[in-house]
Amino acid sequence: MRSMNAVLAAVLAVPAWLVVAPSAIAQPPPTLPHLPPPGQECNYPDCTPGIAPHIVLGSYCNNPTYYAFGVTDWGRLVFCGSPRRYEPRWFRSPEMHGIKNEGDLCPALDGEVAQAPDGLFLTCVSRNSKSSWERGDL
């Protein structure tokens, strides 16, 4: 009985932050959507590959350049960004327009975002009276 009490006391003395929650256990990656067939456009997040699931808004992320989009458990689209070159975090995403090519025109979409076929994070920027898709990590 004494040894049982000692074990119980030792378990209760473990700080809560050392206990691993079941959700923290590695799980297999989700099945990602595929690129649309040639000739068909992808204009929405649901056909964009590489969007990370189970993201916590405001938590740290590691790649604001490629495959920078994620979705929270409640369905909010987020992106990995590094404001003023601080450590990158997940932020609420502006409207996302699927897969676009860097340099293509994006009239009336200023400030909105997309992803290039290679995963590059893009944003629509207006310069010299025209709007085009540019790197969003700069």
Cα–Cα distance list, 10 to 15, 22, 63, 81 (Å): 10, 21, 40, 42
Please give the residue range of the domain that contains residue 76: 59-135
In a domain, 84, yes or no: yes
In a domain, 31, yes or no: no
How many Å apart are CA 82 and CA 64, to the nearest integer? Answer: 7
| Total of domains in the chain | 1
In a domain, 14, yes or no: no
Global model pTM greater than 0.75: no
What pLDDT is attached to residue 39?
Answer: 67
pLDDT higher than threshold 60 for residue 128: yes
Question: What is the 8-class DSSP label of residue 96?
Answer: E
Can you say how many angstroms the Cα of residue 77 is from the centroid of all Cα atoms in its chain?
A: 8
Q: CB–CB of 115/102 below 8 Å?
A: no
pLDDT in tens, 109-118: 999 999 999 9
In a domain, 103, yes or no: yes
How many Å apart are CA 7 and CA 118, to the nearest integer? Answer: 54
In a domain, 23, yes or no: no
In a domain, 131, yes or no: yes
pLDDT in tens, 19-51: 444 444 444 444 444 555 666 889 999 999 999
If phi > 0 it is left, if psi is from -120 to 50 it is alpha, else beta; for residue 55 that is beta
Burial class (CB in 10 A: 0-12, 13-18, 19+), 102: middle
| pLDDT, average across residues 77-104 | 94
What pLDDT is attached to residue 138?
Answer: 78
In a domain, 39, yes or no: no
In a domain, 73, yes or no: yes
